[in-house]
Amino acid sequence: MDPLMPPPPIRRIVVDAPHVVVPAPEPETNGAVRMRPRVTTDVVERMRVEELTITYGPKVAVNGVNLPVHQGEVLALIGPSGCGKTTLLRSLNRLVELTPGAARGGKIVLDGDDVDAIEVTSLRRRISMVFQQPNPFPMSIFDNVAYALREQGSKRVKRAELMAPVRNALERAGLWDEVGDDLDRPALRMSGGQQQRLCIARALAADPEVLLLDEPCSALDPRSTATIEELILQLRESLAVVIVTHNLQQAYRIADRVAFMYLGELVEYGLAEDVFERPQHTRTAEYVGGAFG
């Protein structure tokens, strides 16, 4: 790719979705309550995973997975530990390439373009990621968000110019009201829940199209978890959200679609209600019923 070419323009697809509340039936398998109204209109497909296979040396982590990712929906990847869900997630923004020995087969498509054809730094600005552990950088709250906006390594852009987008990102992450008056505070002095929301703000700052979340609540207390879950539900209107979670109740609460993986293979994919209440496969039924995990 010509290095002088400007990065491809970000395609915003506005989904005009009337929010129709369809009361979810009371779950029988667990006590979780679905939190939000379902979007009933058609959603837009942004990414597609085709025959994806990822191996670490002799170990096959992901085996022949086909999966669409839609804007306007939360897709939850569930499955027992080591089933390849995090690897699948990390392959979407090509982060898996950083793992020594990892090899990928198959195809991943973002808006019709093969991700291998997109320059990796611009790909990762379009598909951003939040990690399991809150990991703000050791700088101020402002600089953490501004880091995502600035050119590579540069500090040249003035603070005043960046204030508006930084504020916007912090507002979208629901953090502005708590930290807006003291943006110079070191980010690592915040609470764990605040740190994780800062990481979400940082991921949102570059205005991505897809947001990947790798067990974002596993290190947090229930109250912070609830805040972040509400945040995810707001965010899915404007971008595609893919979340890996160990927490079945969380998947049930927030996911529109669920993909159940087992030993690297995609066993079942469908609407959350279907996967949780009418699973087609025995393994899925056992897993969502809590038989193994």
Q: List residues near another protein by CB under 8 A.
A: 93, 95, 98, 120-125, 128-129, 131-135, 137-139, 147-148, 152-153, 186, 188, 199, 202-203, 206, 219, 290-293
Q: Rank residues 170 and 266 by Cβ distance to another protein and give the closer one.
A: 170
Select 61 or 266, whichever has its Cβ closest to another protein: 61
Tell me whether residue 23 or residue 31 sits nearer to another protein (CB atom).
Answer: 31
Q: In whole angstroms, give the CA distance from residue 209 to residue 47.
A: 10
For another protein, which is the closer residue by CB, 12 or 189?
A: 189
As a dihedral over the C-alpha atoms of residue 31, residue 242, residue 102, residue 8, rounded to 10 degrees, the angle is: 180
Q: Which class for 48: exposed (0-12), middle (13-18), buried (19 or more C-beta within 10 A)? A: middle
Q: Rounded to an integer, what distance in angstroms lies between the CA atom of residue 167 and that of residue 162? A: 8
Token readout for 124 is 């990762």
In angstroms, give the least distance from the CB of 290 to another protein: 4
**52: closest CA among 111, 2, 115?**
115
Residue 150 backbone zone (phi > 0: left; psi -120 to 50: alpha; other: beta): beta
Residue closer to another protein by CB (options 83, 187) is: 187
Residue 266 phi/psi, 5-degree rounding, is -85, 115
Q: Which is nearer to another protein, 41 or 191 (CB)?
A: 191
**C-alpha triplet 94, 96, 97: angle, nearest 5°:** 75
Pick from 210, 212, 194: which is nearest to 136 by CA? 194
